[in-house]
Structure formats: structure tokens, C-alpha cells
Structure 1
Amino acid sequence: MNINREHQCDVLVIGSGAAGLSLALQVAPYGKVIILSKSSLNEGATYYAQGGIAAVFDESDSIESHIQDTKIAGAGLCEDDTVKFIANNAKPCVQWLIDNGVLFDREENNGKKPRYHLTQEGGHSHRRILHSADTTGMVMQNSLQNNAYNHSNITILEYCNAIDLITEDKIGGEHNKVVGAYIWNRRYEYVENIRAQFIVLATGGASKVYQYTSNPDISSGDGIAMAWRAGCRVANLEFNQFHPTCLFHPKAKNLLLTEALRGEGAYLKRIDGTRFMIEFDKRAELAPRDIVARAIDFEMKRLGEECMYLDITHKSIDFIKKHFPSTHIRLQNLCIDMTKELIPIVPAAHYTCGGIIVNQKGQTDLSQLYAIGEVSYTGLHGANRIASNSLLECIVYAWSASQEIIKKLRKKELPKKLPEWDDSQVTCSDEEIVIQHNWRELRLLMWDYMGIVRTNKRLARALRRIELLQKEICEYYSNFKVSNNLLELRNLLQVSELMVQCAMKRKESRGLHYTLDYPELQNNTAPTILIPKRKKY
């Protein structure tokens, strides 16, 4: 028998990190909000963000400097209007966080009122990173979610996967209007649907397509894949940022070592203790992430080593424990004393710089559908994201999108009853191993063929294999009931295909996209835009 339940709300927010929670809190006074979280509420990438959030709070700094640093890191592909829009709105949006209980570190100020302690990270020319020690994301997440839990207009549904968006043509209207979504309740293992006036995708990135990633397990490109299937354009998915310094340790597969370590003076070294970044860039350890990651990758391959090393032992023990308490404790638990030992590191997939195309209000190509945070393409990051602009983008676009939704909210009515999910022709699978096998194969081929260094042949191999895996999963999806692993693999395959297609279209090396076949920059460059044909599988 079909089990179906339907929820109703004014605004459905899919995703529960900094972007989704911030928007929900700003919209909630004006309407009913449902927040959909694929796991527990705090299991997204925000919670694990260590470094901080970039904004001009120091008198010696300037918004213009922040704009220029962002554009330099973006390697000629940032959209000027977007960079200015975010930099100009950074301070008031960060102040909103502060007003809502987020505590950033302060320092003494010559007997005056304590000021915020600002750190400097790769690509920034000034100290402009507000932080809470080395657990900024955790502090932000905890504060925002506590506010959400206590808001009477917000309902939180945890352990629920969004399956697909529902467009109005399903109930006799236009295709380009989104009216709801199918969700899979993981706790009770049945499909529900949600009717909403507005839907906001805040699902984060897609770095789980790679074998090595700093991201939590839920970063499987769900929002990008759903939006593409519904008819949204995507852009710049060839630019996947590899964080230079993730811990290389068998018991810590995705422990990111914050950029602030290098910002506070840590060196990158070979196994013999010699520094190497000064041979690659005059900014040395403070060069943008793409340069640092390629340098580490180059040295590992040149020397045949499994890892390189991060060294902050020249700083005092008190300094290290004060600035990096969480990192110090976590490494100690793995029998690494960062006050005395070099830390083994490797690059790992970290941040998706492309995504669903949106305007400055977060609006996608589909009416009533918004996308904010890492899932979106705003034009801020260009070919490479500068450190600590990610949380900032989340907060600024959450504010911008919320203002647009609030303006329209009172004029809208809930859509008609949605079609029920039909699983009458599917059965329970007894071949879950197929998903596990295909999942491992996908992540390995993306690492080998679509990684830090690419070639035409590698990309062609990747695309051929992805298409074969898609056919297998399409058949599997058609015949068996949904599961968390099946839904994630379906989305990962879709996003992997889009990443490779974007990479094949870019005939140059720029920022995070480096190919041996086209090592030079093109004089005229533009975002890589893909336009979907409507397809179902």
C-alpha cells in the first residue's frame, strides 16, 4: 500500500548550514518555514569550517582592498558587480550574526573597548578574518540552529533527503515554476512531499565526488543535481577547490587543517625539513589555494612521497594552544603533537566554486526557486575562492534572498495538491553492493581523471565511465525503492558529468582548472555555462 504524507509551508529550505538557517531565521517572522536536513542539523560543512568569515572591520583595511584581493584570487573570472555587492554588504551581514549571538574572538585595544581579533589568510592583503578560535563554523552553526529550534514559525525535519523538485506542469501549470519537492524520510523509509510557495536550495557543494575530501559525507551535490533535472542552468563546475592542507592519517580521512595556520606563520615543508613554497610563488605559504595545492601535488609526485608537511613548531606552545585549541587537541588524540612535530598533509577536494546560476537575489532560472551558499554560482569566486569568503557569501545571499521572498510572500498562495509519489512498480533491492561498488569507482575515477591536474584523455575517460555508471544507476533507480546511498549516488553521477563537461569546454588553464593540454591563459575568457535539456531518470 502507498504511504504518502504531505507537508505545507510558505518557504521550504533544503539544507541546514549557515545559508539555510540564516535565511530561515530572517523569513520566519513573515511565514511558516520548513528546514529540511539530510542528517542531523549540525552535520553540514558549516559546522566543520575552522578559519572564519571575511569582512572589513579594521580601520587600516578597505572594502576596495577586499574586492581586489577577491578578484586576484578569482583569476580574472569574478563578476565585478557580485564581488562589490558582497564586499559592500559584508559588515552589516556579519553584524547580524553578532546580534544573533555569534561570538567572535576579541583582543585588547590599548585600554579602549576590546576589538575583534582579525587574522590573515591566503590571498588576503590585510587581517580581515573574524573567527572564534579555530572553530568558527561550529560556533556559527550552534548559534543559528539554537535560534531556529526556538522559533515558533520554523519546523525542522531531520534525516530527510530531498529527492526531486516538483514543477507546476505536474499539476497542469507551467514548467518553469517550482511548487514543491519529494522527500525521503530516512527514519521511517517512506516518501513524502512538501508544498511550498518558495523553495530555497542551500545544500552545499559536491566534493564527495572525489576520493579525498575535507567535506562531511552529506556533500553530494544534491541541490545542483535536482536543479539541473528541473531545468536550471549551471556554471563553472570545472572549478573545484582542493584545500592544500588536510591531515594525512589513516584514522582521520577528512580532517582539514585550517588556512589560519599558514596565516599565523606555519611553513610547508618536504620530508627533509626544507621549505618549498618560496620556489613557486613570492607569497609563499600565503599564496591562493590553487597555487599551494598544485605545489604540494607537484612535490609529492616529483619526490614519490605520500604527503608533505606543515610546520608551526617555531611558534610558542602558548600561542599554538590559544589560537588553535581544537586542532591541537584533535591532533593530540591522533598522537601528533603540533607544538613539537611536523604535521603530515595532502590536498583534498574542499569547495565547489561553480553551481546553479542565480542573480543577486538568489533567484534561479525557475520561478519561486532560490539557491544560496555553495550550491550556487553567483560570480563571487571566479576560478578560485579566496579563503573565508564562503561563509560570507552564505550570509549575504541569505539576507538578499530573504528580502526578495518576504516582499513576495504575502501575494502568494499555496499551490494545488501535489501528485503522490508512485512506488507501486518497484521492489526492495537485494543488491546494495552495486551502489557501493559504483560509488567507489566514481570517486576514484574523478580523483584520477578530474583532479588537480587534467588532460583531454583523462577527461574523456572520465566521461565515458560516468555515462556507463549513469545507465546502471538509472536502471537501478527505476526498479528499486530509494535509499540514502542510491539518492546520493544518483546526484553524484549527475554532478560529476556536469563537472567533466565544464572542464572539457574550458580550453585553458585558469585558477583551479589546470590542464596539461592547454597550459596557457586565454586572452578572452568567460564563465562556462551549461544549459539543460529536460530529461528524467
Structure 2
Amino acid sequence: MERVDFLVIGAGIAGLSAAIRLVDVGSVLVVTKEELAESNTAYAQGGIAVAMGGDEDVALHLEDTMAAGDGLVNRAAAAVLVAEGPKRVEELLAWGTAFDRYPESDAGNGGELMRTREGAHSLSRILHANGDATGREIAVSLLRHVREIAVRTGRIELMEWTTSVDLIVDGGRVVGATLLDGEGGLRVVRAGAVLLASGGAGQVYSDTTNPAVATGDGIAMAYRAGAEVSDMEFYQFHPTAFSEPGAPRFLLSEALRGEGAHLLNAKGERFMERYHPLLELAPRDVVARAITREGMDGTVYLDMRHVKKDLQARFPGISRFLTKYRLELGRDLIPVRPAAHYLMGGVRTDVQGRTSLPGLYAAGEAACTGVHGANRLASNSLLEGLVFGALAAETMMGERGTGALGLGDEAWVAPVAPAGVTSEAATERWIAELRELMWRYAGLLRDEGGLGLAQRGLDALVVSMPKGLYRRALEARNLHCVAQMIVASALGREESRGAHYRNDFPLRDGAAKHSVMRQGRVEFVA
């Protein structure tokens, strides 16, 4: 058994933002499933939205966030996000984050931070790094800073290749977690406070832009422990993932459309004017549904042949990917389709990161403050992790348990592992079946019949749930838990709002309510 003051599960932007602060008052253990550089943060291409131009800019950012969220944004949370954002980005700059700047030779903007525009933003406020590698640059700079603090203080331990199994609850309070290390050993960590910063769950769908680590572990663990989970029906499908048979659903950043890319249907027609006045820069849910509908008659393409810029320099990562398929921005039509990208729901928290369970906090994509409502504004995700990771840390420092570290070992109950071990091949087939089921019946366009089929399919999968205490079996259990919550919440929401679209209920309900799940029940609250 190990004891620390603070346990942080996840090493993306939210987890590292918190760890930097927690070390001021105690020992910190940061655990992550793979190497420290592997997280959803590192895959974020487009940039980070931040209002660096003063109060008027902040107010406009707030209104854009509210509008994109389709009537369901928690205004108090969004106000905190946009107001705290500039200060947190200034910290990133101080820690060496190299956002792109205009060359010194530029007479009007020489040396200033470059700002671009993306969908549903009223002006250009997106900072980017290395063209289309913003998330990776932020992750690298945060990790570098954390390691410097670890060397200087000796109070941060970074544990790679470690899978979280379950939370430990004692007397109604979360007091730690069980972990599976890279060698298959079970470890028990007791902590004064636990932060879930474990990211999203895109792997619940067969088509996703998310990396393999995004299996909803933190959300599932919190739910099993008794925490409230909210808005799980709102999964954002990015409109433009690469669409080629046999190819990964590689993200083609919204920044491409911000730089002027058009969307064309199989007939070569621009079609977004039929769906929204902002055309290709409409909110993501609108663009994703439009591409889906147009795609019923053939392939949809991203077209930048008319854009007179050095696109390889602006989008080096995307350009390198496309060369594998003998395609080039500015020369070729690029086939696209939507793919699961970002979960607006998660473990229900307040603005300070508190969950419904004492001792447990959440931040980033694993959390649901309501800041994104029904549809996240482009490039608000990195800002969310940065801001709310810091706020959660401040709360944890003031509320950490004083008695948790002294409890006896008898308080821990070992996690239940069903007898037997399912082969890795059988586990992969089981996961693939779940992901295909979710994509087909609980994806971008939904109805009661399809969601019912998804629910019955998930119930049937319980019988063959992979057994054994190893990473993929644990991920299978977590994906199943997340899938059940998505389907149950989607069935309960009999309206269309933001990323949740019901063919059988195409209109938005007049009352804006959040779904809340706890112990198998779904409720809708204002």
C-alpha cells in the first residue's frame, strides 16, 4: 500500500495543470496508462481559444460559447472559463510554450501571436503551435515544467504504463484507487484527494479521432463508485475526419475551414448554404449532420484548391499524413466524414471541480461542468483542461482529507475479478462488436428503435464480458459502462439539441435540462 497526499489520474493538460499546483502543499502521484506524452491533449490540432484582447474580447468569447452550446451551457462555468483563460495562457507562455507568431518582417504584426478563426467564433482568437500541433506543444511544455518541479522538490512522482482499476471508497469518501502497473501487479494507493483527469471515451465508437487510450476509464470508475454523471448523450462528432477505406479516421482540423476550405458533395457543389448562414464555419453539430446527409449520395470532400497560402507550412502534420495517400492540400479534394471526437458529458462537477463524492474531483474531458452545453465551441477543450485543472487543484488543497491516510488496511475491499481469463483475441473481438454497435445505433443520427437495439445489444454483451485483470479487459468493462450511460441518456432525451439529434424528435424542447445518471437511473434537471 502506498500513501500520497494527492493522486492525479491522467497526464493530459488538466492533470498536469493540477499537479503543478498541488505540489505546493503535499506529495503528488500522477499516473497514466501509456507514456506521459500520450493523451487526447497531444492530439489536439486546431489550437486553444482564448480572449487576450481585454474585457470586450472576453465577453464575446462568452457569448460565442453560449451560442454554440445550444441553450444548455452553464453560464457561470463558461464565464469562469473565458475570464480565467488569458491568465492561464500567460502561464503557458512563461513556462516556454511556443505558440506561433508572425515573423518579425511582418510590418503590421511582427512578433505578435498568430490568431486564427474556427467554426462558430465571431472573430479570430485561436492560438496555435507548429501549425497544427498545438496540443502536443502544450503537453510537452507542461510535462517539462512538471519534471523540473519534480527534480527541485522531490514531491511529484510520474508513473507511466499504469491502468487505474477502481476507486477506493471508505465511509462515503473516496480515499484512493487500485492500480495495475505495467508488469501486471496490483497496487493500492491511498490519497487525501483524488483527481480524475483521464480524458474522454472516443473508443466507444468504431469511427473516432481519439487515440487508443480514450476508453472512458475515469468516468466509469466514478460511476461505479456512486458518483453522479451528467450529459452523456452529448458526444461531439467532428465533421471532417479523413475518409478512405482502411485508413484511420485522422482528424482534419477545423482550422482548415478557418483558412477558407470549402465542403463539396459528390456533385462538386458547395452545400453548406442549405444548412446554416455561417456556411463551413457553422457549429460542429450542424456541419457534421450536413456532411452525413450529403454523404448519403456519395463522398463529401474538403476543398482548398482555391486557397492561395503555403498550406504545407501552415498544416505540416496534416500534410505529412496526407502524403501517405498521395494527397495534397491545395491540389486535391480530400475525402471526409464525421467521427466521434469529444464528450461534452462526464463526471458531474461544480466549477471548482468537486464531484458528488467527497474526496473525488474531476477536470478536463472526464468532467462535466456544463461549460460546453450540448455542443462544444471549437478549441475550447484545451482551455477547459487548463482552467479547470487549476481550479480543481486549488479546491483539493483546501479540502484534502485529514484522516484518510491513517485508515487501516482493512478498509480496502479488493476489486472483483471474475474467474477465468478471456484471451486477448476474444477481448478485441468483443470490443470491436461493442464499438460497431454504438456507431450504428447511437451515433450521429438517433431514434428510439436504433437506441433500443443498442441497449439490447449491450445487455447481450454482458454475458461474454471479457474476464481477467489486464488492461484490455478493464478497458472493455469501462467502455461497456460508458456505452450504457450514453444510450440510456440518449433514450431519455426526447428532443434534438446540439450534438444529440433524434430523427423521431427533431425539434428542441423548450425546457433546457441536463441529464444526470446515478446508480442506473436517469433524471433531467434544470
**TM-score band (shorter)?**
over 0.9
Give how far 1:237 is off.
0.6
Name structure 1 gaps, 5 residues minimum.
1-5, 169-173
The match for 1:331 is 322
Deviations 1:126-156 (A, max 9, x none): 1111111210001011111122233232111
Cα distance change on mapping 1:281 and 1:380 into 2, 3 Å: same
Aligned pairs for 1:148-159 (under 5 A) are: 148-150=146-148, 151=150, 152-159=154-161
The match for 1:313 is 305
Give how far 1:110 is off.
4.0
Give how far 1:407 is off.
2.5
- SS of 1:351's partner is strand
The match for 1:401 is 392
Correspondence for 2:118 among 117, 121, 138: 121
- Kindly tell me the number of residue pairs found equivalent between the two proteins: 513
Give how far 1:317 is off.
5.0
Correspondence for 1:163 among 162, 165, 185: 165
Q: Is the 8 A contact 2:192 2:401 kept in 1?
A: no
The match for 1:243 is 238
Distance 2:439 2:358 in 1: 36
Distance 1:339 1:22 in 2: 38
Distance 1:247 1:462 in 2: 26
Aligned pairs for 1:361-510 (under 5 A) are: 361-409=352-400, 414-418=405-409, 429=421, 431-473=423-465, 476-477=466-467, 481-510=468-497
Give how far 1:380 is off.
0.6
- SS of 1:163's partner is strand
Give how far 1:68 is off.
0.9
The match for 2:178 is 182
- Structure 2: which amino acid aligns with 1:338? L
Name structure 2 gaps, 5 residues minimum.
522-526
Distance 1:448 1:533 in 2: 23
The match for 1:41 is 36
- Structure 2: which amino acid aligns with 1:399? A
Q: Is the 8 A contact 2:192 2:402 kept in 1?
A: no
Q: Is the 8 A contact 2:203 2:214 kept in 1?
A: yes
- Structure 2: which amino acid aligns with 1:340? R
1:526 is aligned to 2:513: yes
Q: Is the 8 A contact 2:193 2:401 kept in 1?
A: no
The match for 2:339 is 348
Distance 2:167 2:222 in 1: 7
Distance 2:494 2:421 in 1: 43
Distance 1:60 1:407 in 2: 30
Deviations 1:335-356 (A, max 9, x none): 2111210111110000001111
Cα distance change on mapping 1:505 and 1:533 into 2, 3 Å: closer
Distance 1:112 1:254 in 2: 36
The match for 2:139 is 141
Q: After alignment, is 112-121 or 355-364 more displaced?
A: 112-121
- Structure 2: which amino acid aligns with 1:501? A
| TM superposition score normalised by structure 2 | 0.93
Give how far 1:59 is off.
5.9
Give how far 1:417 is off.
4.0
Give how far 1:310 is off.
0.6
Give how far 1:522 is off.
1.1
Q: After alignment, is 107-116 or 291-300 more displaced?
A: 107-116
Give how far 1:116 is off.
1.1
Cα distance change on mapping 1:488 and 1:425 into 2, 3 Å: closer
Cα distance change on mapping 1:324 and 1:416 into 2, 3 Å: same
- SS of 1:272's partner is coil
- RMSD over aligned CA atoms reads 2.0
- Structure 2: which amino acid aligns with 1:435? T
Q: After alignment, is 335-344 or 15-24 more displaced?
A: 335-344
Q: Is the 8 A contact 1:13 1:24 kept in 2?
A: yes
Give how far 1:529 is off.
1.2
- SS of 2:5's partner is strand
Give how far 1:49 is off.
0.3
Percentage of pairs with the same residue: 38
Cα distance change on mapping 1:520 and 1:142 into 2, 3 Å: same
1:276 is aligned to 2:267: no
Distance 1:449 1:424 in 2: 31
Give how far 1:472 is off.
2.9
Give how far 1:525 is off.
2.1
Q: Is the 8 A contact 1:239 1:383 kept in 2?
A: yes
Distance 2:337 2:108 in 1: 43
- SS of 1:119's partner is coil
- Structure 2: which amino acid aligns with 1:97? L
- Structure 2: which amino acid aligns with 1:290? D
Deviations 1:87-138 (A, max 9, x none): 1111111111111121111125746772211110001001111111210001
Distance 2:197 2:20 in 1: 14
Distance 1:499 1:488 in 2: 16
The match for 1:171 is none
Distance 1:430 1:161 in 2: 18
Q: Is the 8 A contact 1:197 1:415 kept in 2?
A: no
Give how far 1:434 is off.
3.4
Q: Is the 8 A contact 1:13 1:35 kept in 2?
A: yes
Give how far 1:423 is off.
8.4
Give how far 1:239 is off.
0.5
Q: After alignment, is 82-91 or 426-435 more displaced?
A: 426-435
Q: After alignment, is 436-445 or 158-167 more displaced?
A: 436-445
Correspondence for 2:349 among 343, 351, 358: 358
Distance 1:27 1:527 in 2: 31
The match for 1:23 is 18
- SS of 2:331's partner is coil
Distance 1:321 1:497 in 2: 42
Q: Is the 8 A contact 2:495 2:505 kept in 1?
A: yes
Give how far 1:438 is off.
1.8
Q: Is the 8 A contact 2:167 2:221 kept in 1?
A: yes
The match for 1:96 is 91
